[in-house]
Amino acid sequence: MAVPVRVLGIGAYVPERTLTNHDLEKMVDTTDEWIVSRTGIKERHVAADGEATSDLAYRAACQVMERTGVSADQIDFIVVATVTADMQFPSVACLLQDRLGAHRAGAVDVAAGCTGFLYAFHLARSLVASGVQKRVLVVAAECLSRMLDWTDRSTCVLLGDGAGAMILEAAPDGVEGVLSSHLGSDGGLWDLLYFPGGGSRNPTSHQTVDQGLHFFKMNGQATFKQACGVMERACQQALEEAGVSLDQIDLVVPHQANLRILNQLSERMGIPAGKMAVTIDRYGNTSAASVPMALNDYYQEGHLKPGDLVLIVSFGAGLTWGAAVFRWS
């Protein structure tokens, strides 16, 4: 018998420094009009000098722990979703574990691009549902600004930095709070989004730096074409596994990659405007962090009440995708 799992709370952190489209107009050959009309992004936040992914993760984790009253020694496990770790190893999760003083917790990072939060959520849910762990801290944190070629207008205008955090635990009242979580991948599409340098295939050298292999690479149009289809199918599967219809969902929180993708998804699925979280205008694409950051904003703005059903969905590098349905508690 699976242990019922509940989502205990949400937190987030956004770096203070903002970079507007008008700032970018001074850096590359672009315009506010192009960026807004093609992506919906107006500004993004960028980590301060010396601020790294684990610093963002720590701030988001502190917020969810403060809100939920969970102390560091009550955390059994930490999963951090990121593709922009402070260093190749150790994991951001280990750095976070130390900084929080979560001395009982195991800690691991997962890399699933923009779907990272869904993967971390699914792993946390599985750990709790299996009875192996009681309480898991899930964090998604990214400093994509450090991976960008700031002379390449086709990528540097899209991304931003930030972090979100959630706690999942064994439901004390025995009521199931996580109705479903569904993941998928197609590694055949790995070259739609990737970061070639610094790994075992292209270890860092003067040559890899000269070739710009230390920058984020993306086939934007091909990614766009995949995005709606995989998110729609993931949503349908998550709804089916949860045994609920879209009408019963109170809030859909999709990955924030492009407003046109969000509009297409809502049209294809028939999601009413007020039911879909949209925060891309203020943060850009924050990769794995975008879903928990958007959820946090909608929570703070009073859009969520206990018992509400939330559908989260994402797609990203890999190619990966995932969706989940849970009850807000």
- 41 — phi, psi (to 5°)? -85, 135
Residue 318 CB, shortest distance to ligand ACO, in Å, is 9
Near ligand ACO in 40-79, by CB under 6 A: none
With CB under 6 A as the contact rule, which of the stretches 116-124, 131-139, 152-160, 170-178 interacts with ligand ACO? 152-160
**Are 32 and 311 spatial neighbours (Cβ–Cβ below 8 Å)?**
no
CB neighbour list of residue 103: distance below 8 Å, 6 or more residues apart:
72, 73, 97
Question: Rounded CA gap, 274 and 265, in Å?
Answer: 14
Cβ-based nearer residue to ligand ACO, 226 or 329: 226
Q: 325, exposed or middle or buried, with CB in 10 Å at 0-12, 13-18, 19+?
A: buried
Per rule CB under 6 A, is residue 157 in the interface with ligand ACO? yes
Binding part of the chain for ligand ACO, among 8-16, 27-35, 125-133, 179-187 by CB under 6 A, reads 27-35
Residue 233, number of CB atoms within 10 A of its CB: 15
* Binding piece for ligand ACO, criterion CB under 6 A, among 8-16, 28-36, 73-81, 263-271: 28-36
Q: From the CB of 193, what's the least distance to ligand ACO, in Å?
A: 5
* Among 18, 224, 246, 275, interactor with ligand ACO by CB under 6 A: 224
Which listed residue (114, 143, 228, 235) is catalytic? 114
Taking residues 93 to 132 in sequence order and writing x for each that binds ligand ACO by CB under 6 A, - otherwise, the string is --------------------xx------------------
In a 3-state reduction of DSSP, which class is residue 100? helix
CB 67 within 8 A of CB 167: no
Q: How far apart are CA 56 and CA 53, in angstroms?
A: 5
227 is a contact residue toward ligand ACO (CB under 6 A): yes
Where does this chain touch ligand ACO (CB under 6 A) — which range of 6-14, 59-67, 89-97, 219-227? 219-227
Does residue number 194 form part of the binding site for ligand ACO (CB under 6 A)? no
Give the 3-state secondary structure of residue 107: strand
Distance, in Å, from the CA atom of 267 to the CA atom of 258, rounded to the nearest integer, reads 14
Pick the closer one to ligand ACO by CB: 152 or 250: 152
Number of residues that bind ligand ACO (CB under 6 A): 23
223 binds ligand ACO (CB under 6 A): yes
Judge if the upstream peptide bond of residue 172 is cis by omega within 30 degrees of 0. no
Neighbours of 67 (CB within 10 A): 16
Report if residue 153 touches ligand ACO, rule: CB under 6 A. yes
Q: Which residue from 8, 9, 11, 39 is in contact with ligand ACO, where contact means CB under 6 A?
A: 39
Looking at residues 257 to 286 of the shown chain, list those that interact with ligand ACO (rule: CB under 6 A).
Answer: 257-258, 285
CB of 180 to ligand ACO, least distance (A): 24
Q: Is 122 a catalytic residue?
A: no
Active site residue 255: yes
Residue type at 131? Answer: G
45 is catalytic: no
Indicate if the alpha-carbon torsion angle 5, 58, 200, 290 is positive or negative: positive
Rounded CA gap, 231 and 262, in Å? 10
SS3 206: helix
AA identity, residue 153: R
Catalytic residues: 114, 255, 285
By the criterion CB under 6 A, which residues form the site for ligand ACO? 30, 34-35, 38-39, 113-114, 153-154, 157, 193, 218, 220-221, 223-224, 227, 257-258, 285, 287, 316-317
